[in-house]
Amino acid sequence: MHTLTRTVRFSLNPADDPGASLPAVNGFGGSPAMHGLGRYYELHIACQGEPDPVTGYLLNIKEIDAAVRNAALPIIALACREAPQSDPAMLMPRIIAALSQRLGELLVSARWNLTPYYSIEMTADTSHALLRQSFDFSAAHRLHVPALSDDENFRAFGLCNNPSGHGHNYRVEPCVALRLDPAPIFSLTDLEALVHEHVIKPYDHTHLNENTKEFAAALGVNPTVENIARVCFERLRAPIESRSNGSATLRAVTVWETDRTSSTYPA
């Protein structure tokens, strides 16, 4: 079994823009390319199956491009023009249905990036959508286990065991499953408020080992990126379920401590 993914970039341009119909020549710019004060979006399409034994293709990517541009893009464009207050999650079942007509059972999921850090994803199970939004906070930490000797700590953590600690600009991305029947009562605004209250306020511009109970040097857990992801998940899970009356569930939290190192909990 193989999974093929394809990112399709496009802009929704003003209808009266004379450049709106010009062909796109820049893959990063998308097609249609941006003209005037357009809206830029991306759709990440995942398909799964067995490749054709002759061509080696699971699916020609041109078919995915055509499906997005001819079936999904018009749904988004119409909503932007006639119902700009629409919840993006409520458009996803129509987008999945339109893509499925073109791509069939090979379609696994579609993820709509409304910004580089905010997305809505849906699989064939159109009763739920996955909401993701990134946040950031700056904090210092020291990787240290009191039960280990100084030499053992240095062997385990190297320079990250510096007694004065060191800092990171952490990026945090919760993934929330929204129940869509009849409509989600948990919004991006709700998620923003809860993450600010339960993650950003207690951790931003702190020394995790010295200023927080979860990572306190004497009693807390070692503030590795793995443990930070788990603690953020545990801090957010109940508030999200409470705010949504159970219609939203925290699936996972991913934390990046650098652009090269991240941890997702639960996996």
Of 37, 38, 32, whose CA–CA distance to 9 is shortest?
32
Pairing mode, strands 135-141 and 206-207: parallel
121, 173, 214, 257: the catalytic one is 257
Rounded Cα gap, residues 72 and 112, in angstroms: 10
Point out the catalytic residue in the list 2, 166, 196, 205.
Answer: 205
Does residue 44 carry a catalytic annotation?
A: no
d(CA 182, CA 178): 11
Mark whether 175 is an active-site residue.
no
How far is the C-alpha of 133 from the C-alpha of 111, rounded, in Å? 13
Catalytic residue chosen out of the listed positions 160, 207, 226, 234: 160
Active-site residue flag, 197: no
Beta strands in the chain (DSSP E): 2-12, 39-49, 107-115, 118-123, 128-133, 135-141, 166-179, 206-207, 248-258, 261-265
Active-site annotation, residues: 160, 205, 257
